[in-house]
Amino acid sequence: MKPIENMSTINTDLFNRATKFAVDAHAGTPRKGKGYPFILHPMEAVCIVASLTDDPEILAAAILHDTVEDTDVTAEQIREQFGERVTRLVLNESCPLPKGAPWHDRKQAQLDQLANAPHDSKIVAMGDKLSNLRTISADYRQIGDALWQRFKAPNGKEDVAWYYHQLAEALSDLAGTAPYEEYLHLLDITFGPAKKSC
Protein backbone atom coordinates (compact mmCIF):
# COMPACT_ATOMS: atom_id res chain seq x y z
CA MET A 1 0.00 0.00 0.00
CA LYS A 2 1.37 3.38 -1.01
CA PRO A 3 1.76 5.85 1.92
CA ILE A 4 -0.37 8.99 1.90
CA GLU A 5 1.75 11.95 0.88
CA ASN A 6 1.65 15.47 2.31
CA MET A 7 -0.15 14.36 5.47
CA SER A 8 0.43 16.94 8.17
CA THR A 9 1.26 15.73 11.65
CA ILE A 10 0.05 17.26 14.88
CA ASN A 11 1.90 17.61 18.14
CA THR A 12 0.14 15.27 20.55
CA ASP A 13 2.60 15.58 23.44
CA LEU A 14 0.24 17.53 25.71
CA PHE A 15 -2.69 15.24 24.99
CA ASN A 16 -0.60 12.10 25.41
CA ARG A 17 0.65 13.29 28.80
CA ALA A 18 -2.88 14.27 29.86
CA THR A 19 -4.25 10.89 28.79
CA LYS A 20 -1.63 8.98 30.78
CA PHE A 21 -2.26 11.24 33.78
CA ALA A 22 -6.04 10.65 33.57
CA VAL A 23 -5.64 6.87 33.13
CA ASP A 24 -3.42 6.74 36.22
CA ALA A 25 -5.72 9.03 38.25
CA HIS A 26 -8.83 6.95 37.50
CA ALA A 27 -7.09 3.55 37.74
CA GLY A 28 -9.22 0.92 39.48
CA THR A 29 -12.34 3.10 39.48
CA PRO A 30 -15.48 1.72 37.82
CA ARG A 31 -18.11 3.84 36.08
CA LYS A 32 -21.04 4.12 38.49
CA GLY A 33 -23.68 1.50 37.75
CA LYS A 34 -21.78 0.16 34.74
CA GLY A 35 -18.86 -1.94 35.96
CA TYR A 36 -16.46 -0.90 33.20
CA PRO A 37 -13.38 1.30 33.81
CA PHE A 38 -14.27 4.93 34.56
CA ILE A 39 -11.65 6.20 32.09
CA LEU A 40 -13.93 5.22 29.21
CA HIS A 41 -16.15 8.21 30.07
CA PRO A 42 -13.37 10.84 29.71
CA MET A 43 -12.26 9.07 26.52
CA GLU A 44 -15.74 9.36 25.06
CA ALA A 45 -15.95 12.99 26.22
CA VAL A 46 -12.70 13.89 24.46
CA CYS A 47 -13.90 12.23 21.24
CA ILE A 48 -16.97 14.48 21.34
CA VAL A 49 -14.82 17.53 22.06
CA ALA A 50 -12.50 16.61 19.16
CA SER A 51 -15.48 16.97 16.81
CA LEU A 52 -15.67 20.63 17.87
CA THR A 53 -12.01 21.67 18.15
CA ASP A 54 -8.43 20.54 17.66
CA ASP A 55 -7.12 22.89 20.37
CA PRO A 56 -4.66 20.71 22.34
CA GLU A 57 -5.37 22.41 25.68
CA ILE A 58 -9.12 21.91 25.32
CA LEU A 59 -8.56 18.26 24.39
CA ALA A 60 -6.26 17.80 27.39
CA ALA A 61 -8.86 19.37 29.68
CA ALA A 62 -11.55 17.08 28.28
CA ILE A 63 -9.63 13.92 29.17
CA LEU A 64 -8.75 15.40 32.59
CA HIS A 65 -12.17 16.91 33.35
CA ASP A 66 -13.09 14.55 36.23
CA THR A 67 -9.67 14.22 37.85
CA VAL A 68 -10.04 17.03 40.41
CA GLU A 69 -13.67 16.30 41.27
CA ASP A 70 -13.51 12.49 41.38
CA THR A 71 -9.94 11.54 42.37
CA ASP A 72 -7.25 12.66 44.82
CA VAL A 73 -5.68 14.90 42.16
CA THR A 74 -5.48 18.58 43.12
CA ALA A 75 -5.83 21.66 40.96
CA GLU A 76 -2.21 22.49 41.79
CA GLN A 77 -1.05 19.18 40.32
CA ILE A 78 -2.97 19.90 37.11
CA ARG A 79 -1.47 23.40 37.01
CA GLU A 80 2.08 22.11 37.48
CA GLN A 81 1.70 19.46 34.79
CA PHE A 82 -0.52 21.17 32.21
CA GLY A 83 -0.63 24.92 32.84
CA GLU A 84 -3.10 27.57 33.85
CA ARG A 85 -5.60 27.33 31.00
CA VAL A 86 -6.05 23.56 31.27
CA THR A 87 -6.51 23.98 35.02
CA ARG A 88 -9.20 26.62 34.52
CA LEU A 89 -11.03 24.39 32.05
CA VAL A 90 -10.92 21.43 34.45
CA LEU A 91 -12.08 23.55 37.40
CA ASN A 92 -14.97 24.93 35.35
CA GLU A 93 -16.12 21.29 35.06
CA SER A 94 -15.89 20.77 38.83
CA CYS A 95 -18.70 21.68 41.20
CA PRO A 96 -17.75 24.75 43.25
CA LEU A 97 -19.65 23.43 46.30
CA PRO A 98 -18.46 20.64 48.61
CA LYS A 99 -19.69 17.09 47.98
CA GLY A 100 -21.83 17.16 51.13
CA ALA A 101 -23.96 20.07 49.88
CA PRO A 102 -27.59 19.30 48.94
CA TRP A 103 -28.05 17.88 45.43
CA HIS A 104 -30.06 20.83 44.08
CA ASP A 105 -27.57 23.36 45.47
CA ARG A 106 -24.65 21.55 43.84
CA LYS A 107 -26.38 21.26 40.49
CA GLN A 108 -27.52 24.90 40.52
CA ALA A 109 -23.98 26.01 41.35
CA GLN A 110 -22.67 23.98 38.40
CA LEU A 111 -25.30 25.47 36.10
CA ASP A 112 -24.52 29.03 37.21
CA GLN A 113 -20.79 28.43 36.74
CA LEU A 114 -21.30 26.94 33.29
CA ALA A 115 -23.72 29.63 32.11
CA ASN A 116 -21.06 32.27 32.83
CA ALA A 117 -18.09 30.22 31.61
CA PRO A 118 -16.09 31.08 28.48
CA HIS A 119 -16.71 29.29 25.20
CA ASP A 120 -13.78 26.88 25.59
CA SER A 121 -15.18 25.67 28.92
CA LYS A 122 -18.55 25.04 27.31
CA ILE A 123 -16.88 22.86 24.69
CA VAL A 124 -15.33 20.70 27.43
CA ALA A 125 -18.68 20.57 29.24
CA MET A 126 -20.43 19.49 26.04
CA GLY A 127 -18.18 16.44 25.83
CA ASP A 128 -18.86 15.50 29.44
CA LYS A 129 -22.61 16.13 29.45
CA LEU A 130 -23.31 14.48 26.10
CA SER A 131 -21.33 11.40 27.17
CA ASN A 132 -23.37 11.27 30.37
CA LEU A 133 -26.65 11.74 28.54
CA ARG A 134 -25.81 9.00 26.04
CA THR A 135 -25.32 6.62 28.98
CA ILE A 136 -28.50 7.77 30.74
CA SER A 137 -30.59 7.45 27.60
CA ALA A 138 -29.27 3.96 26.75
CA ASP A 139 -29.66 2.72 30.32
CA TYR A 140 -33.17 4.14 30.62
CA ARG A 141 -34.21 2.22 27.52
CA GLN A 142 -32.78 -0.96 29.08
CA ILE A 143 -33.86 -0.78 32.73
CA GLY A 144 -36.51 1.94 32.87
CA ASP A 145 -37.24 3.81 36.11
CA ALA A 146 -34.87 1.64 38.15
CA LEU A 147 -32.14 3.84 36.63
CA TRP A 148 -33.00 6.84 38.82
CA GLN A 149 -31.93 4.96 41.95
CA ARG A 150 -28.30 5.53 40.82
CA PHE A 151 -28.70 9.27 41.32
CA LYS A 152 -28.69 11.23 44.56
CA ALA A 153 -31.45 13.44 43.18
CA PRO A 154 -34.26 13.62 45.78
CA ASN A 155 -37.04 13.43 43.18
CA GLY A 156 -35.38 10.97 40.83
CA LYS A 157 -36.16 11.38 37.14
CA GLU A 158 -37.88 14.74 37.63
CA ASP A 159 -34.74 16.30 39.14
CA VAL A 160 -32.39 14.72 36.61
CA ALA A 161 -34.63 15.95 33.77
CA TRP A 162 -34.59 19.48 35.23
CA TYR A 163 -30.79 19.45 35.42
CA TYR A 164 -30.22 18.18 31.86
CA HIS A 165 -32.78 20.63 30.43
CA GLN A 166 -31.00 23.48 32.25
CA LEU A 167 -27.68 22.26 30.85
CA ALA A 168 -29.10 22.59 27.34
CA GLU A 169 -29.78 26.25 28.07
CA ALA A 170 -26.34 26.81 29.61
CA LEU A 171 -24.67 25.22 26.56
CA SER A 172 -26.85 26.95 23.95
CA ASP A 173 -23.78 28.82 22.61
CA LEU A 174 -23.04 25.51 20.86
CA ALA A 175 -26.42 25.34 19.13
CA GLY A 176 -26.13 24.11 15.55
CA THR A 177 -23.17 21.83 16.22
CA ALA A 178 -23.62 18.08 15.84
CA PRO A 179 -22.96 17.32 19.55
CA TYR A 180 -25.49 19.93 20.69
CA GLU A 181 -28.14 18.65 18.29
CA GLU A 182 -27.52 15.08 19.47
CA TYR A 183 -27.83 16.31 23.06
CA LEU A 184 -31.24 17.87 22.30
CA HIS A 185 -32.42 14.68 20.57
CA LEU A 186 -31.40 12.47 23.52
CA LEU A 187 -32.92 14.96 25.94
CA ASP A 188 -36.23 14.76 24.15
CA ILE A 189 -36.41 10.99 23.85
CA THR A 190 -35.26 10.43 27.44
CA PHE A 191 -37.11 13.15 29.33
CA GLY A 192 -39.56 14.77 26.92
CA PRO A 193 -39.99 18.54 26.61
CA ALA A 194 -38.97 20.78 29.48
CA LYS A 195 -41.74 21.67 31.92
CA LYS A 196 -42.67 25.33 31.88
CA SER A 197 -41.96 27.08 35.16
CA CYS A 198 -44.75 29.13 36.71
CATH number at residue 133: 1.10.3210.10
In a domain, 66, yes or no: yes
- Which residue range(s) make up the domain with 122? 13-191
- Identify any residues that bridge with 30 across adjacent strands, giving them in sequence order: 37
Nearest residue to 167 via CA among 106, 111, 109: 111
In a domain, 4, yes or no: no
Instruction: Please tell me the pTM assigned to this model.
Output: 0.91
Q: Give the pLDDT confidence score for residue 96 in this predicted structure.
A: 86
68 close to 81: Cβ distance less than 8 angstroms: no
Q: Give the pLDDT confidence score for residue 98 in this predicted structure.
A: 87
pLDDT in tens, the chain (198 residues): 444 454 456 778 999 999 999 999 999 888 877 778 999 999 999 999 999 999 999 999 999 999 999 999 999 999 999 999 999 999 999 888 888 899 999 999 999 999 999 999 999 999 999 999 999 999 999 999 999 988 889 999 999 999 999 999 999 999 999 999 999 999 999 998 876 553
**What's the CA gap between 147 and 138, in Å, rounded?**
10
In a domain, 196, yes or no: no
Nearest residue to 179 via CA among 127, 136, 120: 127
In a domain, 120, yes or no: yes
In a domain, 3, yes or no: no
Q: How far is CA 77 from CA 25, 29, 80, 84, 114, in A?
A: 11, 20, 5, 11, 23
